[in-house]
Structure formats: C-alpha cells, structure tokens
Amino acid sequence: MGYELHITRKENWSDEEGPAISEAEWRHLIAQDPELQLDTDTRCSMSDGEYVFAAWNGKTGALGYYNGEITAKNPEEPLIRKMVAIAQRLGATVQGDDGERYPEALDARPRQKMNFWQRLFGGG
C-alpha cells in the first residue's frame, strides 16, 4: 500500500459523484506537455477498464488515469508540484488520500531542523 495524491474535479476525491476528467482530456494533455509521454509499458487493468499511464521526465508509471481522475503513488515534491500545474490546466485540484489539498499541504509540512554540524557546514 502507498499514499496516493489525486487530481480531481470532485469536491472530495472520494465522492461517488461529481465532475470527471475525461480520458480524452488526459491523452490531449500528455500529447501537449513535453515533460509527459504516454506510457504503454505500464499496465493496470480493473474490472471496468484500464489505467492510462504517463511517464514524467522518463519515469514510467508516474501518473495514472482511471475513472475520471489522475493519481500518483507516494510522489516526491517535484512530482507533486507537476501535479498541481496539471490540475490548474484541467480546472481541478490535487488532494491526498486524507483530503488535504496541494500545494497548501506542502507548506504545512514540518521542516526538518538542521543539526549543529549541518548548520555549521551548510548541509541540509
């Protein structure tokens, strides 16, 4: 199991009903974005359809479209920021499994304090 972030048009990503992102919109966005490539090597089939994956900057399986939303599992901050940019282009939001919204949740994360040696030698 992992923690997922969701690009969605729904008020809450887990709502049963609400506006969806279409597969055609997702495929068009992939085609228009030089950082994204359609990823036909990564596969995931569900009982009612298949995920449509995109590689991001060469990382296969980075983003997956299914059932009206785009998700990423355990994304690091650069991919989260990319997801926020994608959401803005689609008129959507980025939400975590627990309902937190991005990019605001990035700013709310506790920052790791530097120890004495890191401060002294400029580490981080």
Give the dihedral sign, CA 4/76/118/107: negative
Per-residue pLDDT reduced to its tens digit, 10-57? 999 999 999 999 999 999 999 999 999 999 999 999 988 899 999 999
How do the domains of the chain map onto residue ranges? 4-121
Q: Considering only CA atoms, which of 67, 60, 87, 121 is closest in space to residue 5?
A: 87
Res 111 pLDDT > 80: no
In this predicted model, what pLDDT tens digit does every residue of 73-98 receive, in sequence order?
999 999 999 999 999 999 999 999 99
Contact 83, 6 (CB under 8 A): no
d(CA 98, CA 33): 29
Which pLDDT does position 121 carry in this prediction?
66
Q: pTM of the entire structure?
A: 0.85
More confident residue, 92 or 105: 92
